[in-house]
Amino acid sequence: MIREFLHKHAAYNSALPVHYKDFGFKPEELKIDGRTVDCYVAIFGNKDRAGDVLLKGCFAKSLQERGPGSPNPEIAYLNQHRMDQPLGRPLILEERDLGLFASNYHDEGVLRADEALIQQKSGTLKYYSIGFNYVWDKVEYDSDNDQFIVKEVELFEESVVTIAANNLTGIVAIKAAEILEQREELIRETEAALKKLNPRKQFEMRQIIAKHLSLANTQPLEILRQALGEVDQPTTKQVDWNKLADKFLVS
């Protein structure tokens, strides 16, 4: 069943470059001053739909190395996770007790930035989402609560998004409703298979599966460099999930 899980997952997840987590907000929760919007873009301590719990400190290294005020301020502020549609730049990105706080400036003279401001005020755009990658040696599985404790991630961007789609973003050839239905079925199948294992094996397999799902994505730094025009040709290869599953897993 684990092999079937990986094969099914590959059908609609292997094209994704990074992981996404979404956070909804109400228009009255935003602080809008001119062209600057203040908001939380991630929350600490709560278990999300992926079973992850982000801990305060998980963004610290990324912010120090690539956040606003760093020598290399590269964390982007985007429209719908599109690297070709920056809305402006984060003036502030900092961890607070509640979560990751952002103060985002929307560029003047840019139509999509004007539209994003208007639609955040109206509530048409009511989700923020972060694009990141896991740092796997800083992720632990809590078997008692069936959740992953995330102590560090590589943060690449934050986006205003229309729908809290998580890692459905970028999927083609499958309707959204079908994806949700298949994902729920896949979760049920996986959980049923894992419950047949003893607790230690469950932990090991959850870690392995989580790493396989991460590897379904091409390496994000290369994708970002390509999107920014720093390289002309792709320098990464997509994972062949069928070969990988057949080689390393047993039915």
Q: Of the ranges 30-44, 45-59, 235-249, which one carries the lowest mean pLDDT score?
A: 235-249
Residue 181: the pLDDT is 66
The residue with greater pLDDT, 133 or 163, is 133
Average pLDDT of the segment spanning 150-161: 92
74, pLDDT greater than 90: yes
Task: Rank 2-16, 46-60, 180-194 by mean pLDDT and report only the highest.
Answer: 46-60
Question: What pLDDT, on the 0 to 100 scale, is given for residue 238?
Answer: 46
pLDDT tier at 21, thresholds 50, 70, 90? confident
Strand stretches in 6-164, DSSP E: 19-24, 31-33, 36-43, 52-54, 76-79, 82-95, 99-106, 127-134, 139-142, 147-150, 153-161
In 3D, which of 10, 23, 59, 80 has the Cα closest to residue 242? 10
Residue 219 pLDDT greater than 60, yes or no: no
Which pLDDT value is given to residue 226?
55
pTM: 0.60
Confidence of residue 221 (pLDDT cuts 50, 70, 90): low
Residues 147-157 as b or e (16 or more Cβ within 10 Å = b): bbbbbbbbbbb
Domain boundaries, the chain: 1-16+170-251, 18-167
Indicate whether 51 pLDDT > 50. Answer: yes
Record the tokens describing residue 29, joined without a space.
């929760």
Least confident range of 16-20, 65-69, 167-171:
167-171
Residues 6+ apart with CB under 8 A from 134: 19, 150, 153, 154, 210, 214
3-state secondary structure of 150: strand
Pick 32 or 96 by higher pLDDT.
96
